[in-house]
Homo-oligomer: A and B are copies of this chain.
Amino acid sequence: MADATDRRSASPPDPASLPVPERLLSAATRLFAQHGFERTSVQELVDAAGVTKGAMYHYFSSKEDLLFAVYQRVLAMQTRRLEEFAEADGPLAERLHAAAADVVLTTVDNLDDTVIFFRSLHMLSEERRGAVRKERRRYHERFREMIRTGQRQGVFRADVPADLVVNHFFGSVHHLGMWYRPDGALSGAAIGGYYADLLLASLRPDPAPTGTG
């Protein structure tokens, strides 16, 4: 379950051995995250991937199509990861903790993807944006169900909407792209641990409600 991070050093010109679509995907991910979707010209992109425009338009119908492909890859990975944790054994609180920590870890291991995900959604067509949102929602709901279950069981406080907690948590995760640096003081795993702790702490049943209810 910890072996999905090995495709990481394959960023530069790309070994030429990889198939063209993957090289494009990888170059696009890097450049879109670095300069933004609109600031990355198709020419730059294909140069970075070591292919030509012709090659790109052979596999992707447009620049936006390429962006969408990036989204699909991220979405697929996220979903797969969460499923694994949600369906594992053990006490709910531990599963949630593990899943939360893993989301953080996966996020910092694929920071480029995350940066693009939230920054460039509006560059997708209405239709595709809808598709992304839908998939993303399913993801949220999977997470939310874990929290709801805990609330019903009484192991989590129930005076705060599960939906809100999920949005709260993923907000902080999403924000990682704004401040996390691989060479910083905290490792991805450390941050994951803290974030999961924070989540669980904020869900601990409260003897003295401060809230607005």
Which residues of A pack against B, CB within 8 Å? 35-36, 38-39, 97, 118-119, 122-123, 160-161, 164-165, 167-176, 178-179, 186, 189-191, 193-195, 197-202, 204, 206, 210-212
Q: Which of B160, B179, B194, B211 meets A160, CB within 8 Å? A: B194
A–B Cβ pairs within 8 angstroms, 9 of them: A97-B210, A118-B118, A168-B195, A168-B198, A169-B172, A171-B173, A171-B174, A201-B201, A201-B204
Q: Is the interface of A mostly helix, strand, loop or mixed?
A: helix
Closest to A198 in B: B202
Identify the closest chain B residue to A36 (Cβ): B122
Roughly how many angstroms separate A60 CA and B35 CA in the complex, as a whole number? Answer: 24
Closest to A209 in B: B197
Contacts of A168 in B (CB 8 A): 172, 175, 194-195, 198
CB distance from A28 to the nearest CB of B (A): 16
Of B186, B201, B211, which is within 8 A of A206 by CB?
B201
Contacts of A189 in B (CB 8 A): 212
